[in-house]
Amino acid sequence: MRHGKYPFIIGFLVVPLALYLVFVVGAYLQMFQLSLTDWSGYGGFSYIGLENFQKLWDDPVFWVALRHNLYLLILMPIVTIALALFFAFLLNSGGKKAGGVWGSKVYRVIFFFPQLLALAIVAVIFGRVFGSDKSGMINGLLPQSWTPWLFLADERWALTCILVVLVWQAVGFYVVLFSAGMGSIAEEIYEAAALDGATKITLFFRITLPLLWDTLQVAWVYLGIAAFDAFALVNIMSVNHGGPNNSTQVLSMQIYLNAFQNSQAGYASALGVVLFFLTLTFAALTLRVTRRDAVQA
């Protein structure tokens, strides 16, 4: 029976592994190849070496998009994790004996609800919420004598509106994730600390946060990857697929526009290569910088 164990496992792994190699690894390899060509998206192509990367370096829109991605990369994980930790701690706070909120399971379902909506639906909804005329939900609540707020049509606030929606859509998942992590911490630890006179703030920073560190690390990586994407929201919510004066332009949007509107698939592939390595570098650095010895509950 022991000798038949591994062929049985391998038999289950062969098909999904083959599909992964063909449709994921193969697609990445093809992207690297196309980034060295002048392919328009159809027909033949010629190899042009690193010309696409030189063009990318000299492209001012690329640097604008990169700056916006970095803005989202910094703020989205910080705001989302801070809010999720705050709500999760309120829902748990060391169990009912330490002041956990009554009905916390119901609240978790409510917080998780945005995850049930497709990003496209979320984008359409908030596109109406942030509408720049009186038909917009927020502007519709303002007195008629007030000038409508432009929101997505204002280059000063358009990217902030995208950030708000990204945080709203993501925070519920991490509330549930952090709540599950807090629920696995032995209640006796909180009770012992409370007997020693520890306040809730002390409980959070001295007990909860260290014991949730691995979960926080993973959350930061996932949120960073989401910040590097943001394509669906920018594409649906923004004016002219990038906001006024490219105020919401991001790298994923640039890839789409160059590949499908500008017929520059080779250049879009070069942008994809840059985005790939930026994401990989971010994940590796985050895991390395936030590495610490495991704390046992």
CA distance 38 to 264: 7
> Has residue 128 been placed in a domain?
yes
CA distance 38 to 270: 11
CATH of the domain at 246: 1.10.3720.10
> Has residue 275 been placed in a domain?
yes
pLDDT at residue 144 greater than cutoff 50: yes
pLDDT at residue 95 greater than cutoff 60: no
> Has residue 34 been placed in a domain?
no
Angle at which helices 213-229 and 60-92 pack, to 10 degrees?
Answer: 150
Pick from 287, 217, 243: nearest CA to 71: 243
> Has residue 110 been placed in a domain?
yes
Confidence band, pLDDT 50/70/90 cuts, at residue 96: very low
> Has residue 277 been placed in a domain?
yes
Q: What is the pLDDT of residue 281?
A: 95
> Has residue 14 been placed in a domain?
no
Q: Find the length of the chain.
A: 297
Q: What is the pLDDT of residues 259-273, one digit of tens each?
A: 999 999 999 999 999
Q: Which residue has the tokens 């990369």?
A: 73
12-to-6, 19, 20, 21, 261 alpha-carbon distances in Å: 10, 12, 13, 15, 41
Please report which helix (H) or strand (E) contains residue 44, including its range: none
Q: What is the pLDDT of residue 173?
A: 93
> Has residue 16 been placed in a domain?
no
Whole domain around residue 235: which residue ranges? 54-290
Q: What is the mean pLDDT of residues 217-223?
A: 94
Per the structure, the count of domains in the chain is 1
> Has residue 26 been placed in a domain?
no
